[in-house]
Structure 1
Amino acid sequence: MSTTRPRFDPTRVPHLLGSFAPVSEQVDIADLEVTGELPAALDGLYLRNGPNPRFTPIGSYLYPIDGDGMLHGVRLSAGRARYRNRFVRTPAMEAEERAGRALWGGLESMIMPDAGEVGPELAATFKDLPDINVVRHAGRLLALAESACPFRVDAALETVGREDFGGALPAGITAHPKIDPVTGEMVVFCYGLQPPYLTWSVIAPDGTVSRGPTPVEGVDEPMMIHDMALTARYAVLVLAPAFFDLDAAMAGGSFLDWRPERGTRVVLLPRDGGPPRWAADEAFWMWHTVNAYDENQAEDAPVVLDYVQWSRLTVGGSASDAAQPLSGGLARARIDPASGSMARTLLDDSRVEFPRVDDRRLGRRHRHAALATDTGRADLLPGEYDAIRWYDTETGAARVWTAGNLSVGEPVYAPEPGRESDESGYWMTFATDRTDQSSWFLVIPAQDPSSGPVARVRIPVRVPLGLHGCWLPTEP
């Protein structure tokens, strides 16, 4: 039976069309039009990353993993707004610019240029794809890839270059490090196609690597792990059964193989260097954590992990995988490090993704979580949402703002300066109107989020739907 992949036609890939379609123009536009009133207390930069192919893709395109990175920033100050976007300029993208076309195929196609096209250093290498997330730590602004070295950018969003942390993390990190708001440490992990298949590390508040790559024992195959969580005691990793299969990819099959019979494991990595603690359950897939925390101060206290749960892998995989019913929602796992047991509860069965909390609560008990969701309309693509949902973990109540014809992205929290409550600030996101492809930056009050935006900033160019971002208050 042949496993030859069908001929790739980028004009038929939904995530290259409509509100997802890439843009090529880089602009810097001041004094944006504002409907409503921007909170005068907000002074800083909202910044978001996302896949944006510089040239028409060849071979394959797997959203959200493939695509060049593009940063989109809205700077707020004194009630005014300014927009700037910039590509994250990698050596591979610059080689493609010289050629005037795509030279690397998507990850599933395994197309790589030879030395005659790109020179010996880039020949037969995977393309850098720092297109998933962006964070600021120890004065560094980092555009993050799925599992590779990030790229550092400056305050103007211009690319500085690949960041390997002084050579201490040569394999890089994944796209979802976690910054402890109490200690200032950034805890990271990295998976690879060769042993060691999974490592974790710690970057100190001054940017030095205080714990080098530490192998996670018990992982003996290459597997995909997108996100992590943090508590005061542990780094928390969810190992769902999504395995990389290079042989299948080379034969025209899927790069990712979903093996539900293997179940899903969770590992708690003690931040003090102690031995890992494992728990296991039936298979589920997780893209993103909400947050985690130690249930109490006792030694070996259970860990509570809130996350978005899916019944199976939602990208790649075989046709039989895709045919399986898909369910999920906001979930909670209680992991007992002493017994190795894990109990899961579905908190909210709405279709949700891109969960966020007030980043000042990371690793500690949280109450509110914001998530992108949808109203059930049939014309939305996978990864497209038309509402935002706020969930109260204490009461179980949910509040929703429906965006109508707007497709909304990940909500990010911006605290009001000097206020500790996570209901005194604002939630921010980009949105694109599906009827005319106009784009907006929305500011929604945390105190009454279902009332909708207090300010809508018109972005004069289209901002494609993307992935993850952050709020960066202006530093004194």
Structure 2
Amino acid sequence: MNTSTPPRFDPQRVPHLLGSFAPVTEEVDAVDLDVTGEIPAGLDGLYVRNGPNPRFTPIGSYLYPIDGDGMLHGVWLSEGRARYRNRFVRTAAMKAEERVGHALWGGVESFILPGADQVGPELADDFKDMPDIHVVGHAGRLLALAESACPYRVDDALGTVGRETFDGALPAGITAHPKIDPLTGEMVVFCYALEPPYLTWSVIDRHGAVTRKPTPVESVDEPMMIHDMALTERYVVLTLAPVFFDLEAAMAGGSFLAWRPERGTRVALIPRDGGPVVWATDDAFWLWHTVNAYDDPAGDGSVVLDYVQWSRLTIAPGHEGEGPPRCALVRARIDAVAGTVTRTELDDSRVELPRVDDRLIGRRHRYLAVAAETGRADLLAGEYDALRWYDTARGTSLLWPAGDLSVGEPVYAPAPGDDSDKHGHWLTFATDRTDGTSWLLVLPGEDPASGPVARARVPVRVPLGLHGSWLPSSPGE
């Protein structure tokens, strides 16, 4: 696999390494951020977000959002004040690159893997850890999550502790979107792999102990990419879109990911009690992110799943004659008896990065939020210039256009002691496309379309990235 002459690659021609996506290398600490407006006194905790941020200029290839080193951006809020810190997630591979001052691994599509003479036998001829997708807190652990690999544990100051295997019980790791059951405290996870077993799921209890070791999902007999999952009181919900890993094509200079729509999309309802998997089949579609899922209150055995649907995988070559991939916010009803999926479009606007109040994961939700587009033509894939909120009970939505700001995923911070999913605040990072300044925005849950009640100026540009969490200072909040 090792090569001393990387394929011809010009990072300056990769849009997702430029502009608002361009990586930053400076690690910064700042207290008493300048604030426009007023940070609500009840916001007491840490908002932290992860995202791809190459430590050195990439070689070979760069595929957003899969490639890149992890960088955590944290804003601590308390008593109306804000402080900021950003830190790389320092994997063993990154440390090896820092010793020589340049990239040693190529992107996932280039297969540039350094040899033992460059990085030693432990890291040689293996893929680089890239915990750059998400960051979650569970059982006293703060975890930076990769696409499908071991997460990295970080401390309260965002310093890297090391690779997390959960006391050796999950040596292959987990994916970037575990789901934490707010009632049981369990974190349910899954993992896909290039070798059998190709797909497994596991459970970590509220104390951090693995109570279900990796359990293979039946009827999965080849390697597939699955980015997100959903959870209900009864089921783990996995959507298997027809995205397959093609090692032979990649070694011949083609794409590592193959979109095969003729295979259709399957949905697995995996009973949390360990019962047999229920499969439902549908026409081909791809999803990056689920919104939430819940057992149908009608009691007919169906599952309701809200998600952002794409007509095909957005990072693989399309088939001849295909136009740009189509996007829609969709509600699916999965019949566990008939094995069928019925889909209803809630909105055909171009949206992504959906979130609900995390206290409602696995239960029926009313409100959801997304990053959205207003229709301007100069946005890149993965760049959004608005936030939108949906009331699924009324079938209505609210929009806050962000103007020259590129905004990220909205994360809900509940009001302390309030069970409502409307009285808290939505948090997101935003970067001004005209001058590169970045801000933490705080928007009111009761009237988010009125715009931010506070903007905290971040002293370094925060590259457009992916997912984050709100971690209240008091566990009961």
1:330-368 deviations in whole A, cap 9, x for unaligned?
Answer: 101100111111101111111000000000010000000
Match of 1:282 in 2: 283
Asked if structure 2 preserves the Cα contact closer than 8 Å seen for 1:172 and 1:190, the reply is yes
Larger mean CA deviation between 226-235 and 334-343 belongs to 334-343
Residues in 2 aligned to 1:171 and 1:297: alpha-carbon distance in whole angstroms: 38
State the distance in 2 between where 1:157 and 1:475 align.
Answer: 18
Query: What pairs with 1:46-125 in structure 2 (closer than 5 Å)?
Result: 46-125=47-126
Match of 1:394 in 2: 393
Deviation at 1:322, TM superposition (A): 9.0
Q: Report the Cα distance in structure 1 between the residues aligned to 2:318 and 2:61, rounded to whole angstroms.
A: 16
For residues 301 and 322 of structure 1, do their structure 2 counterparts lie closer, same or farther at Cα, with a shift above 3 Å needed?
same
After superposition, give the CA deviation of every residue in 1:191-238 in whole Å (9 maximum; x if it has no partner): 000000000000011100000000001001100000000000000000
- Summarize deviations over 1:395-433 as a string: whole Å, max 9, x none: 110100000000000000000001111110000000000
Partners of 2:192 and 2:220 in 1: CA distance: 10
1:367 matched to 2:358? The reply is no
- Give the alignment of 1:24-423 within 5 angstroms: 24-296=25-297, 298=299, 301-315=301-315, 317-318=316-317, 320=319, 323-423=322-422
Q: Distance in 2 between matches of 1:294 and 1:45?
A: 32
The answer to whether the 8 Å contact 1:242/1:257 transfers is: yes
Counterpart for residue 474 of structure 1: 473
SS in 2 for 1:94: helix
Whole-angstrom CA distance in 2 between matches of 1:228 and 1:242: 15
Matched residue SS, 1:23: coil
- 2:319 maps to a residue whose letter is S
Cα pair distance change 1:438/1:321, threshold 3 Å? farther
Residue type of the partner of 2:262? E
Q: Is the 8 A contact 1:441 1:459 kept in 2?
A: yes
SS in structure 2 of the partner of residue 320 of structure 1? coil
* Cα deviation 1:285-336 (Å, max 9, x = unaligned): 00000000001274x6200000000000001x23536943421211011001
Q: Which moved more, 1:335-344 or 1:74-83?
A: 335-344
Q: Give every structure 1 segment of 4 or more consecutive aligned residues whose post-TM-superposition deviation is greater than 2 Å.
A: 317-325
* Alignment partners' CA distance in 2, 1:331 and 1:471: 26
Higher deviation after alignment, 318-327 or 86-95? 318-327
Structure-2 separation of matches of 1:319 and 1:282: 17
Quick one: distance in 1 between partners of 2:264 and 2:252? Answer: 26
Tell me the residue number matched to 2:3. Answer: none
Q: TM-score, normalised to structure 1's length?
A: 0.97
Amino acid across the alignment from 1:345: T
Question: TM-score, structure 2 length as denominator?
Answer: 0.97
**AA of the residue aligned to 1:216:** V
Taking the aligned partners of 1:43 and 1:346, their CA distance within structure 2 comes to 37
CA deviation digits over 1:235-290, x for unaligned, max 9? 00000000000111111000100000000000000000100000010000000000
C-alpha separation in 1, matches of 2:288 and 2:320: 17
Mind listing any 5+ residue stretches in structure 1 that lack a counterpart? none
Q: What is the letter of the counterpart of residue 433 of structure 1?
A: D
Cα deviation per residue 1:4-38 (whole Å; 9 max; x = unaligned)? x9831100100000000000000110000000000
Contact 1:331 1:347 (C-alpha < 8 Å) held by counterparts: yes
**Which whole-Å deviations, capped at 9, do the CAs of 1:410-461 have from their partners, x for residues lacking one?**
0000000011111100000000000000000000001001000000111111
Q: CA deviation at 1:41?
A: 0.6
Contact residue 288 and residue 354 of structure 1 kept, 8 A:
yes
Report the secondary structure of 2:113's partner residue: coil
- Which is further off, 300-309 or 97-106? 300-309
Contact 1:409/1:430, CA 8 A, preserved across alignment: yes
**Residues 139-196 of structure 1: CA distance to partner in whole angstroms, max 9, x if unpaired?**
0000000000000000000000000001100000000000000000000000000000
Give the whole-Å Cα distance in 1 for the aligned partners of 2:151 and 2:124. Answer: 20
Quote the Cα distance in structure 2 between the aligned partners of 1:194 and 1:475: 42
Partner SS, residue 102 of structure 1: coil
Structure 1 position 465 matched with structure 2 position 464? yes
Letter in 1 for 2:225: M
Are the equivalent residues in 2 in contact too, given 1:415–1:424 (CA < 8 A)?
Answer: yes
- Correspondence list, 1:5-16, <5 A: 7-16=8-17
**Counterpart in the other structure of 1:436:** 435
**Structure-2 residue corresponding to 1:446:** 445
Distance 1:423 1:189 in 2: 30
Answer yes or no: is the 8 Å Cα contact 1:258–1:321 preserved in 2: no
Contact 2:7 2:60 in 1 (8 A): no
What amino acid is the match of 1:314?
T
String of CA shifts for 1:36-56, please: whole Å, max 9, x gaps. 000001100000000000000
Contact 1:412 1:429 in 2 (8 A): yes
Q: Which letter does structure 1 place at the counterpart of 2:421? A: D
Letter in 2 for 1:320: H
Task: Please give the alpha-carbon distance, in whole angstroms, between the structure 2 residues aligned to 1:321 and 1:260.
Answer: 13
Q: Secondary structure at the match of 2:319?
A: helix
What is the distance in 1 between the residues matched to 2:310 and 2:317? 17
Partner of 1:19, secondary structure, is: helix
